Structure 1
């Protein structure tokens, strides 16, 4: 018995749909495709007739995607990304074995760099290029294959896998400890936090039963290392990654005025972490797939000394 095959629409119709979805305008789509607006409209009608579903609603000179159009647009965009990545990989020799990796500076220095030699031994033919950046990169513009980024796991349409939770500890310089006897005392201090969009202090204060609106002063830092140094210098109260805080407390450089285990019961969705992040299409490349498998298989909670 012959199976019924899905009838796929013509490529020109898909290209017209893709262009309109990005521009929100038939004329702009026509300009990109170097055809007339009438030709674009005909391709969209052909696509809607083929699929038997309305994809756009006309509103004067502009168009708005229907719910079905929004769903289809995500898959079409992913399909074009995979096609572009495939063409890049097979036509440019320099990319065939190259893996361009962008990593959060903290994760790179504290965790990844001491382990990279192990990856090279397991995949000796790979050409690994490492850059560091606090913000999530633009994978197309920055020519990045895969990234490890700090956050809460919300990276839009990108694939993400949690590698390690970044548990925090409330710390201050020893000279400031006497000023912080209860969670409410935090509001009278300058609170130090990362400049990246986050809800760390707000979530912590709510967890401790403190009104976040009462915060007197805040200071944001671009990276964790700078914030850690600022905390040691008594510039304010910092949220220090637990593995570093334990070392600093043992060395006498910092104290945890409210206790080292105060935040241990924070809800997991409020605890940031380091995530493997990349466009789904990039996993098609064998080297990137192997790198992702290597990264995800490791226990990053066991940080090398």
Structure 2
């Protein structure tokens, strides 16, 4: 019996989970409807049981130690599994429901044309689709799986790349007429979405352009707004290939450095759309089936939307 691990009280772990999320004893107490003193007692009990220090006080806030950060990943995953199990067992009408969240761009450009196929592949599933620019809180927002734009850095989730989202440097013809080299890009506002602050620095570095001390960029909430700003001549945008094809064909935008200027970007510097899910959710049959369907799609093949290859579009005279 001496070698058997003694688990700390569940209530102490629950309090710990709240304190980590709020970085405050008082805010954790407000959530749990107890006093800050009661929170402090539970944290002390947990520290005594584990024989480690979990928090250091910083004025009115508390800062988790390295041990606390490590523990929080496992405790958070554990409570997520508890919540999922209770929800699935107690809500019989929820068992066949799949709450799918996706970034607005992925939902409209990639997912919507395939929804009929999804219903054929996963019959009986009650699909609920929502869109969100930011990564959802899976428990709070009642989300089963999500597709989000980024670089794959979601350490606490099951993460799979669905399709990369390479960009084309685009601008209005008037701005394009003033760009002869990559260095000329920094003379204009560099447009981006707020989730892609690293994209322009990576691209400028790839092109051998020094960005300088001044940040001449403008951030937008979503790709659609950034694209409209590019069309209105507010600056130089990074437009997804699908949209770039439409705008270059129509002549509304030009690619001043060429359509293939970014094709040799390192793979880890090219963002993409990733399928995210708490691991506990994948143990539910309907969620696992939906997750498997999303993984098995060939997302980079969109014949209805990409009838003409980008390289086949004739150059536009600026």
TM-score class, shorter: 0.7 to 0.9
Residue 95 of structure 1 corresponds to 94
Relative to structure 1, is the Cα distance of residues 10 and 33 closer, same or farther in structure 2, using a 3 angstrom cutoff?
Answer: farther
SS at match of 2:212: helix
Deviations 1:98-135 (A, max 9, x none): 11111111111111011111111111111101111212
**TM-score, length-scaled by structure 1:** 0.83
Three-state SS of the structure 1 residue aligned to 2:177 is helix
Specify the alignment match of 1:150 in structure 2. 149
User: 1:103 & 1:139 partners in 2: Cα distance?
Assistant: 12
Matches within 5 A, 1:157-168: 157-168=156-167
Using the alignment, how far apart are the partners of 2:110 and 2:273 within structure 1? Answer: 11
| Cα distance, 1:207 vs structure 2 | 1.6
Gaps of 5+ in 2: 305-318
Q: From the superposition, tell whether residues 256 and 21 of structure 1 become closer, same or farther in structure 2 (CA, over 3 Å).
A: closer
- In structure 2, the residue matched to 1:130 is 129
Aligned counterpart for 1:47 among listed residues 38, 46, 49? 49
Helix, strand or coil at the partner of 1:219: strand
Deviations 1:229-273, CA, capped at 9 Å, x for gaps? 332333322111123223332333322111111111112222111
Give the TM-score, by structure 2 length: 0.80
Alpha carbons of 1:286 and 1:66: their partners in 2 closer, same or farther (altered >3 Å)? same
Query: 1 CA distance for matches of 2:225 and 2:26?
Result: 50
| Structure 2 match to 1:108 | 107
Cα pair 1:12 1:43 within 8 Å, conserved = no
Runs of 4+ more than 6 Å apart: 23-31, 57-64
Counterpart for residue 80 of structure 2: 81
Q: What is the CA deviation profile of residues 115-172 of structure 1, one whole-angstrom value per residue up to 9, with x for unaligned ones?
A: 1111111111111011112122222332222211111222352332211111001112
Q: What is the RMSD of the two structures over their aligned residues, measured on CA atoms?
A: 3.2
Contact kept, 8 Å, 1:166 with 1:273, in 2: the verdict is yes
Please tell me whether the aligned partners of residues 80 and 139 of structure 2 are also in contact (alpha carbons under 8 angstroms).
no
How many residues matched?
299
TM-fit CA distance, 1:58: 7.4
Report the counterpart of residue 272 of structure 1 in structure 2: 271
Q: Distance in 2 between matches of 1:71 and 1:103?
A: 29
Q: 2: distance between equivalents of 1:219 and 1:59?
A: 38
Matches within 5 A, 1:168-247: 168-213=167-212, 217-247=216-246
State the alpha-carbon separation in 1 of the partners of residues 22 and 193 from structure 2. Answer: 35
Q: Distance in 1 between matches of 2:55 and 2:156?
A: 24
